[in-house]
A and B are shown apart, each in its own frame.
Chain A
Amino acid sequence: DSGVTQTPKHLITATGQRVTLRCSPRSGDLSVYWYQQSLDQGLQFLIQYYNGEERAKGNILERFSAQQFPDLHSELNLSSLELGDSALYFCASSQGGTTRGETQYFGPGTRLLVL
């Protein structure tokens, strides 16, 4: 158990809909990262938040947005969903985001299926 929790575990929805994925980082961790893993692909970095502020951005679609709240949990919002958004979405956390070489601890992921 990494200490990172993600809800829900599974989500089935229809094209055009909007969903929210939630992540609670490990106790004391200030950085939260979101990754997408599509079928047979590696994990693709989407976005990082550090202590409530956006810190780094990857190939995140404009239809996707995220935020980190004062209690440090984070939400990833996916809107106007398309079939190709079906994937595993992982959240990870690390202590500070400022120390080089910090380990990222991953949650179990949310499996999203868009029908």
Chain B
Amino acid sequence: DQQVKQNSPSLSVQEGRISILNCDYTNSMFDYFLWYKKYPAEGPTFLISISSIKDKNEDGRFTVFLNKSAKHLSLHIVPSQPGDSAVYFCAASVDFGNEKLTFGTGTRLTIIP
């Protein structure tokens, strides 16, 4: 039972344009959401997070949007840069905690120069 779903295994975006990565979840108890970025042969690296009391969180080029009624979140990267090419994982947890993160299967983002 996949509680966090990333339905697009891959995405290609032109350099300088906006990248939008999507994530859906089924567990209404999730109240804290995170995005991690992963390069080959490295562990995931924390990118940005959002708690369920917000609907938007911004950090530089990265913005995460949360739509609780649709159980959907998205990560926007503007402008996209070649170094953004990586696998992006969406993750969620309960009670604003960090134990037991539930991860999606990831989306491979390729930025085309």
A107 to B41, CA, bound (A): 10
CB-CB contacts below 8 Å: B29-46 with A: 32, 36, 41-46
Establish whether residues A101 and B89, one from each chain, have CB atoms under 8 Å apart when the complex forms: no
Establish whether residues B97 and A100, one from each chain, have CB atoms under 8 Å apart when the complex forms: yes
Establish whether residues A97 and B99, one from each chain, have CB atoms under 8 Å apart when the complex forms: yes
The main secondary structure of chain B at its interface with chain A is loop
Q: What bracket does the count of chain B residues touching chain A fall in?
A: 20 to 34
Contact bitstring A26-63, B, C-beta under 8 A = 1, else 0: 00000101010000111111001000000110100000
**Given A58-B100, A101-B96, A108-B42, A43:B51 Cβ within 8 A:** no
Q: What bracket does the count of chain A residues touching chain B fall in?
A: 20 to 34
- Nearest-neighbour CB distance to chain A for B5, whole angstroms, equals 9
- Note all chain A residues with C-beta closer than 8 A to B36: 106
Among the listed A2, A55, A106, A108, which residue makes an inter-chain contact with B99, where contact means beta carbons less than 8 Å apart? A55
A35 to B41, CA, bound (A): 15
Chain A: which residue is nearest B32 at the CB level? A101
- Note all chain B residues with C-beta closer than 8 A to A103: 46, 49, 98
Establish whether residues B105 and A2, one from each chain, have CB atoms under 8 Å apart when the complex forms: no
A–B complex contacts, Cβ < 8 Å, 14 sampled: A2-B43, A33-B99, A33-B101, A42-B2, A42-B102, A42-B104, A44-B103, A45-B100, A48-B99, A56-B100, A90-B44, A100-B95, A101-B49, A108-B41
